[in-house]
Structure 1
Amino acid sequence: MAGRRSSGVLAMLAEAQREQHRREEARRRAAEADRRAYERAQREAQRSAAQGRKEALRAYQQGREADAARRTAELDARVDRLRGVLAAGLAGPAFHPAELQGPVRVPPFDPGPLGVPVPMPDQAWYLVPPPVGAQAADPAARRRFDAEAAQARARYEQDWYAAQAAERQRLGQLAEYRAQYDAWAAERLRWAAGQAEQAAGLVAGLRAGDPAAVVEYFETALRWRDDWPEGFPVEGALTWDAAARRLVVERRLPGAEVVPAVARLRYVKADDREAEVARSATERRALYREVLAQCALRVLDALLRADPGGLVESVVLNGFLDAVDPATGREERRTLVAVAVERTAFRALALDRVSAVDCLVEGLGGRLSARPEKAAPVKPELPTDPAPMVAASTLAPDGMGAGDGDGGDGPDLFEMDPIAFEELIAELFRRRGLRTSTTARSGDEGVDVLAEDPDPITGGRIVIQAKRYRHTVPPAAVRDLDATMVRQGANRGILVTTSGFGPGSRRWAEGKPLTLVDGPTLVRLLHEQGLSGRLGGTVAAPAAAPPAATRRGSGGSRSAAGRAQELSPGQNVRPEPAELAELTVVFGSTGAEADLTLLLLAEDGRVRSDEDFVFYHQPTAEGGAVTLRQEERTATLRPLDLPGTVHRVAISVNMDADSDTTCAQLRDAELRVSGAAGGGWSFRPPADPAISAMLVAELYRNGGGWKLRAVGQGWADGLAGLARAHGVEVA
């Protein structure tokens, strides 16, 4: 009996052990299944991540390849424009004497918003319905009606008188605007009549063969077309030989840098970099020679096509550029293209089918530099029978005649070629007894003219700077001259300008061997030495559009068509994308001197480096996307070219650090911003006596575009406070 019980217990224990083993085996199998499932999920996640990285890398590489292809296409387009210089000239219309006498249209008077009468209030709008039914007999209802009717009559009378006052104001403004329009139209017509008379005289002089008229006419013909590629100069000189009926043209040529040194760009996946494939020296030389030949042929074609009457028998053309002589280090003029053509032979050419180089050299017998990229010169083409040249003139870079320097009041100093202006200053001091020489334009270290006073006691070395400014010379220019004088080991420094100097500049020069010569003094000195020059004096054409009509009154903006929108402090606007191709910023004021500065700021409101501080000594940033012209207190911005790390551009002004002036001394201060598509905005900052540096406005990123905001707040410690507030280290 006991044995049977023992065997039963053992059987139960064995069964329990087997059950335990089964459960452990099930757990083991479940754990193994979980492990395999986890490993499968891990492998799947790794495969998915690898696929994502692969796709992201492929997209990144495709983007880099597309960017390289886009930039290569831009290079190809530049080369196509260079190869098409002559074709572009041939495709355009020829200049004709009739172009000088085109009609001047005076648009009819348009009153704009002032032509809309102020609506008068209608008494029916103010009627109060009388009580009806049982309420008509209710005294309380009658009293309420009488009170409401009296209030309505009072409102009507108030609104009627206000409308009458607004209408009288409108009529007064309309009469004022009509008077402005009539004055503008009369001035426009008087100017047009004067221009027509001058044009008629020029055409008559041209037909009569008057030398001065011939020169002026063909100068106009050369300036008429403005579709030359970017970077191509339009400077030169034109001379008319009446006896030989020959035009002699000296034309500045573009430099070799107009030919891209890079042929294409390609993305190298292995190194994750963009590689530049250089254009071979042979290809660059051939393309540059082709460009020079096309320039010469286009100038010749423009001159002869502008002469339908056959006045010109021949044209002599010398194309030149300035290059540094490695032997002397001085800049000199070198002729790279020279050709003389007869009218009949040139007009017989089919210029749309010629090879420019072959046509110039073989067809016309001209000379073209074999190595123009090295400025290897050729012999200039001179008239074979050098008769006296009876009329000559100069084409300045902006297309204005610079004058010949004798007779009358002489050339306009504002419009002179920079090199000619420096030569004039050198000649002035040469006649005053100094030995003078102009410096090379590159590497001149801030010196335009070097002079030596031969006096053994008071003489010595003198450095002279010549600045053709229309605005007050900033004190920084005077400080620079002081430093330049020390570097050059000079005894004295002279700063000559066509404008003037402010009190800060004169205070800096006090007690120092510095002489400041302003515009009126310069003109007087020139006349004393038998030279000539004037400061402007030409009559500008009246505005091409009449003044805009603007209704002034409470509420609304004062802006109207053709005028800049005025902003109030804190107001912001969103320029259209077309405007953002290039923004022009101009700060104008009278009274005390102030400098325009700009800061490129990151998302945290601080500069990324000191290179983001754009001021007098550092006038550009981001490859020219921001450029400052301090002497004009003007800047140009290309927001679309700024990198994504630039989130704001701060536009500020600061008073002269060497004076005790504040922003309260800025009279008639105004910031004007003009867009590439013709839009414009203006802001008149407050004249705050507590600050000497002001954040006038800021351009900032917003919603994928840019916004412009007027600010008008500043710092009492001037430029130093402005700089520190934006992360610029100040010593």
Structure 2
Amino acid sequence: MSRRSAGFVGAWAEMQRQHQRQVEAEARRRREEARQVRARQRLATQEHRQFRQAEARRRTEELDAQVATLQGLLTAGCQAPVFRASSLMRAEEIPPFDPGQFAWPVLMPDPSQYQAQGGWTTNGRAQAQAAARARFERAWHAAQTAEAQRQQHLAALQRDYEQRTDAQRAEVRRHNDGVVEVTEGMRRGDSDSVVEYFSAALYSSNVWPEGFPRQVAAAFDSAARQLVLDWELPGYEVVPEAKSVRYVTAQDEDRETARPVTQRRGLYREVLAQSLLLVLHQLFAADEYGILDSVALNGFVDMDPLEFEALVADLFRAMGMQAVTTQRSNDGGVDVDALDPTPIRGGKIVVQVKRYRSTVPPTAVRDLYGTVQDVGANKGVLVTTAGFGPGSHTFVRGKPLELISGGELVDLLHRHGLRGRLGDGGRSTSAQPSPSSPAGAPDDYNVLGMTWSGRVALDVCALVCQGNRVLSDDHFVFFNNPRTPDGSVHAVPAAAPDKAALHVSFDALPEAADRFVLVAAVDPEVNPQADLSGFTDACIRLLDPAMTELGRLKVSDGRSGETALVLGSFRRRPNGDWDFVLGGKGYTGGLEQLVQEYGIEVE
């Protein structure tokens, strides 16, 4: 081989070795990158698993903490600060006036900064000095204008500040005056003040865990010194269904371990018992004026609409039918689908479930009839916790519709081995003829029947009020004015066992009305020497238009020397419902003195 060829081969071989080294280097680089990617993936996977495991532990710890809070509810509540009316007082904390940039005056120009520039001759120097003076005067006038504007803005800000702070002080004083008024009423034993004070004690408490309801309705029997309280208790869901959470690596998912049913039920019963005891503790601890001798506490749980529908479906199945609840969306106005397998009279039944506190309006019954026709059902059933008016009963006559009131529902549940109650008024009583309604009176109404022991003759009257002021003289219903202008309230003849009765359509009361007050007074013509000492065992019976008793409201007994008495008042809540607040305030000056307090001028 010649030198020339050998050099060529060597160069070629060197090129091949360099290329090979580059290939190997690239392969090593790729292997290193792959190794780093795998390392990062392993690290990311490990971090992901660690994060998911830590998250599962955190959720388990939250469940344990939630259960510990429920178990220690009474202990923590008893250790909390006691409510005092003074805690409701607000301080007049007014921030100082801060005008910001307008607090600083505008800087006036400095004459020394406006010296003549140039001018080596007499005329030139004079012109330069004149120009300097002109610049200074322009700057001075501009600064004076800016300062005047600043002072105007400052004065406006000062006026706005004073107006806002005056309004804040007035609001704080109004609030504090209200607290003082309630406190003074407490010392006197005024029923409204007592109810407001103890309701505030429960509402303002910070011992209840998040998610616990605080719905309360209260009344005070000043004669018995007893507070009657309805307090909403938490539902079953307050006890967590899950006991723990663990992370399953293989499936990359969290799995919950269910809490044993017996443990969950036991803890829920414990929560209910602690809640009632804690309410009693808070009430008596807050009684700094020694007003209460006793508390009648009624705890209730607001049933979820889905649970109510499920209960109705259970009832239909217990009656031998096939029944399922429908989906919440696109149900076409049907809550429960039922099928009666009985030949001839059976078939498809659509059921609507209505949770009402007052009488179901006739429009709901008409809507049910439309649904029956739309879906081609054999029958429609409307189930409610309340009752139905005569308009509804008239409409269903001759139609494939059936109405089940609250009392009838309870009877059916008990008859078929299911549990259910609506309170004292849950069961229906024997139907009695409904007192006739005057023309123009609303179809949807309740009857308030008054019964009492003793032979004293009384006039039972009503006032439609906004606060403690009657809307007008025409909204005072008594023997000389038997009805309000709109017919929402009118007196009717009483049917035994009642001694007096009123028709009231709560939904038709004027929008401005937030109180419906019932009072009783001795009839001076029949019993001129009588007082209310013989007025005992009194109660208001709440009836539907079919005279089915929905509930009884106890009222205070009369006292010697008093000839008029506030029995109680129905008060409109923000959601439109009406709650009854027990009265008890008596008057020695009879009905005349009583109505004067509500703004009626007596000639």
Give the TM-score normalised by structure 2.
Answer: 0.49
Give the TM-score normalised by structure 1.
Answer: 0.41
